[in-house]
Amino acid sequence: MRNVFLCLLLLVAAGATYSQDQVINPGDVQRFKATGNQLELFTSNANIRVQVYNASMIRVRMTRGSFPDDFSYAVIARPGEQVIKLEQTGGELRFQTDSVQVRIQQKPFSIAFYTLSGQVINQDEPGLATSWVGTEVTSYKKMQPGERFIGLGEKTGPLDRKGNGYTNWNSDVFGYAANADPLYSTIPFYIGVHSGVQYGIFFDNSWQSDFNFGASNNRFSSFGARGGEMNYYFIYSSNVAGIINHYTALTGRMSMPPLWSLGYQQNRYSYYPDTEVLRIAQTLREKKIPADGITLDIHYMDAYKLFTWNRDRFPDPKGMIDSLNRMGFKTTLIVDPGIKVEKGYAAYESGLRENIFLKYSDGQPYTGEVWPGWCHFPDFTSVKGRNWWKKQITGYTDAGVNGIWNDMNEIATWGQKMPNNVLFDYDGHPTTHLKGHNVFGLQMARCSYEGTKMALQKRPFILTRAGYAGLQRYAALWTGDNRAEDDHMLAGVRLLSSLGLSGVPFSAMDVGGFTGNATVGLYTRWMQLGAFIPYFRNHTQLNTKSAEPWTFGEDVTDIARNYINLRYRLLPYLYSTFHEATENGMPIVRSLAIDYTHDPHIYQPVFQNQFFFGSSLLVMPQESVQQYAKVYLPAGEWYSLYTDAKEAGAQEKLIELNTPTLPVYVKGGSIIPMQSLIQHTGEKPSDTLTLHVYNGADANTFVYYEDDGFSYNYESGEYYQRSIRFDPASASITLDQPSGKMHSKFRFVQLMLHGFDNSQLTLNGSAIQTRKDWFSYLDAYAKEGSFYSVPVTTILLPYNNNKTVISFK
C-alpha cells in the first residue's frame, strides 16, 4: 500500500523531465483545439488549457506532463456553458466574452487579456511568459505603466505592494515584526490596478508560493509555486467591488454569523480558575461595559490535552458556562490540533483506533512537540479525520460552548520544521507535506465549523489563525500574536484591509496587542479602533499586565465604554453590512482602494491606513503619540461624526487630535441605522429604529436587514429586508416595501436628518410634523462632561410595511 502511495505521487511528473539547471518555457504552439468553453493547446514543452469560467473570468492551466485531477479546496463554483468562438490571425489566436478579450501568441506561447475596446489589462512578459525551473513553475506578467498591486490576504507592508515580494507558507510567528512575511495564512489572490482598469488573479496552488510585484526588478510581476501546476483565474470587472464579487462567487462567501459574535469579546491568555472567569464577566456588567463573549485559552485543559478540562480550575464547566449564559455571555474555547501521545488519554486512543493521524511515508504516525508534549495530528484532509474531529467537538458543545477558536493550525510545532515526507490524504489525492501544509488550517476550520454547526443546530462562531483561500466559508480569521506597539496597531489595520480585498470579511486583530504591555495612550486608541473592526476582541498574553478596560483607570474606562456603546448602537448597521458580505463578498473593513481605486492619494503612506467601516463611516486610525494628523478626504462630501462639521472632498487636511475621540467622518448621502443601547445582544433594544440620513450630492441605497440572529431560518426566507434610498435628484428619502417572511423587531422608525437645516419636508406628499433635537454618538466623558451634541431634524413614524417617501426642498 505504501509503495502504491508513493507511485501515485510520482505520477505528477509523468511525461516530463525536470532539471534545476534549465529554464523551460512552454515553447511554440504546435496544435490546438477549442471545445465548448475550453481551448486546449499543445506546445513544444507543455500542455495548456484556457477555459472561459464566465464572462468575467478566464482560467489558465499549464503542466509539463499530463493534467492531474481537477481538485481544489478553494474553488466551489463550476464553469459556465459559454462556447469559445476562436479566431486565428497570423500567429495569434483570439476569442472574447461579453467582458474581456483573450489573445494568445503562438510562437512562442504567451497570453494577454484586453478590454473589448482593445486596452491591455494584463499580459505575459514577452520572452518570459511562464517557465519551469525544476519543479518550480512561475508566470511572469509585464509591469504596466503606473501599475499598483493590492490584496494577497494576510500580508504586511504597504497598501500598494509594488516593489515588494511575498511568500505563502503558513507559519507560526509569535510576536512577529510589523513587516514580517510569511504570516499564518495563505490567500494567493491579488488585484492589479493601472490606467483606469483593474483585474484580479487567483493562483490556486497550495504548494509554497511566491509573489513578486517588482521586487529586485523593474520588468515584471510574477507568481509561482515550488511544485504543482500553473493554475490561475484571471478576473476582470469595471470596479474592484466587482472583482471581489467574482472571486467570492468562485471561492465561496461567509454565512450570517451569530449576532453575539459581533458584540465585544473579553479574553486573555488565560482566565482561570472559574471564579476568575465569572469575576471578569460580573465586572463587565457592574461597570456597564457591554459585552457578549468570554474566551478561554489553553489553561482550561488538563495539562494542555485537547478535549479535557482541568477539574481543579474548572470543577463544573457546564455550570460555569450556564452561569455565563444567564449573564448574557457566550463562551468560546481554544483548540489546538495536537493530540498528546499518552496511553489512556481518550482522544489519543480513539485517534489510533480510527487511524486518523498524519503519517510518515513508512506508515508510522508523525509526532511533533507542542503544548502538551509529543503529539500526533489528525489528517484534516481526510474524510475520516474530519469526521473524528466533529465527534470530539460535541464534548464542548454539550457543555454549552458556542464558539471554537482554532489555534496552532499552520501546523505549528516546536522547531517549526515539519518533515516533508509526512503524507496527507488530500481527499483521495494523496500527497506530501509540501502540498498539504497550507490547507491544513483551512480543513481544521472546516470540520470545526461543520461539527459545531451540526451539534448546536444553530450558527456557530469559528475563529482560525491559519487557512487557505476559501476560509471565509467557515471561519473568521485573526492576525495572530501581534505586539502592543503603535506600528503593530496600524499594520493590523492594513492586514484587515488586505484580507477584505481578498474575500475575508470577518477578521480581527488582538485589540491592545498580544505581546508586551500597551501604554495608556495606545490602549485607548486601540479600543476606539476596535469598535470599527469586524470581530472586536480584547486579548493579551500570559505574564503581561491585565488589559480589561478598567485596569487603565477611570478616564480610559469611560472612553472604552463610549466606543463599545457606539458599537452596540451601530449593530443594525453592522449586521446589515455582514449580510451584504454574504451576498457579494464585500468586506466590513473596506480599503479606500475599493471605492477610490485610481486616486493616488489613498496609497500614500500617510493615508493608507484609512478605511471604511461598511459603506459610510471613514475611520482614520492614528498613533497614540500624535497630537496632529494629516488626513485625506476623498471625492464627495463629508461630515465629522461628532460635530457634523461639513467638509469638501478631494482634499488633504491637518486636524488636531484629542484623546476622547478617534477621527471618523461620514460620507454625504449615507444612511446609518442605529438602535438603543443594550448590554448584550440577548437584550432587546427599544422599539424604535433610528435612521441617520446625511444630505449630499450623491444618491445612495442602504439595504437594511434583520433575522433572528442565531438560526439558519433566514436561508428559507425568515428575514426582514428593506431598501432605504436617498436621492438628491428627486429630493427624497424612500423606504421601500420590505421583503422576507419576518416582521421587523422595531415598531417605529425615527429619521435623524443631518445637513437638511432649512428643508421643507413632506411625507407621501402631505405636510409632516418634525422636531428639532440634539444628538451625540458618544456619551458624556467624565473629564469633559456632555460634549459633541449636534442639532438634528427628527421625524418619528410608524415602522409599517408601506412604501414611505419623505420629500425635502
- Any residues with CB less than 8 A from the CB of 406 and at least 6 apart, and which? 335, 337, 441, 444, 445, 448, 462, 463, 464, 465, 466, 475
Q: Give the closest residue to 718 by CA, choosing from 708, 728, 727.
A: 708
Contact 503, 476 (CB under 8 A): no
Q: Give the closest residue to 490 by CA, choosing from 314, 610, 406.
A: 610
Task: Put the strands of the sheet holding 373-376 in their side by side order.
Answer: 339-340, 373-376, 368-370
* Spatial distance between the Cα atoms of 65 and 46, rounded to a whole number of angstroms: 7
The one-letter code for the residue type at 636 is G
Bridge partners (DSSP) of residue 631 are 653
* Catalytic, out of 481, 486, 548, 706: 481
Grid cell digits, residue 34? 477549442
* Spatial distance between the Cα atoms of 566 and 692, rounded to a whole number of angstroms: 14
φ, ψ of residue 362 in degrees (nearest 5): -90, 5
Contact 161, 153 (CB under 8 A): no
Contact 159, 494 (CB under 8 A): yes
Q: Give the closest residue to 82 by CA, choosing from 37, 40, 35.
A: 37
Contact 248, 503 (CB under 8 A): yes
Within 568-714, strands assigned E span: 589-591, 611-613, 617-619, 628-633, 637-640, 646-648, 651-656, 664-667, 671-674, 688-694, 700-706
Within 562-650, strands assigned E span: 589-591, 611-613, 617-619, 628-633, 637-640, 646-648
- Please give the C-alpha separations between residue 606 and each of 212, 531, 610, 614, 652, in angstroms, as whole numbers: 24, 22, 9, 22, 10
The SS3 of residue 167 is: strand
Contact 593, 601 (CB under 8 A): no
Q: 595 catalytic, yes or no?
A: no
Q: Give the closest residue to 88 by CA, choosing from 105, 75, 110.
A: 105
Calculate the CA 655 to chain-centre distance: 31
- Check whether the bond before 257 is cis (ω within 30° of 0): no
- Please give the C-alpha separations between residue 634 and each of 610, 611, 650, 703, in angstroms, as whole numbers: 11, 11, 4, 23
CA atoms within 13 A of residue 759's CA, in its CB half-sphere: 27
* Catalytic, out of 336, 379, 410, 595: 410
Q: 548 catalytic, yes or no?
A: no
Q: Pairing state of beta strands 664-667 and 637-640? A: antiparallel
φ, ψ of residue 2 in degrees (nearest 5): -65, -40
The SS3 of residue 445 is: helix
- Any residues with CB less than 8 A from the CB of 356 and at least 6 apart, and which? 378, 379, 382, 384, 385, 388
Q: Please name the helix (run of DSSP H) or strand (run of DSSP E) that holds residue 498, with its range, or none.
A: helix 486-501
Contact 25, 131 (CB under 8 A): yes
Q: 554 catalytic, yes or no?
A: no
The radius of gyration computed from the CA coordinates of the chain, to the nearest angstrom, equals 27
φ, ψ of residue 485 in degrees (nearest 5): -140, 150
First-residue to last-residue Cα distance in the chain: 80
Contact 571, 675 (CB under 8 A): yes
- Please give the C-alpha separations between residue 94 and each of 56, 86, 124, 689, in angstroms, as whole numbers: 16, 6, 15, 55
The one-letter code for the residue type at 175 is G
* Catalytic, out of 124, 274, 407, 548: 407
Instruction: List active site positions.
Output: 407, 410, 481
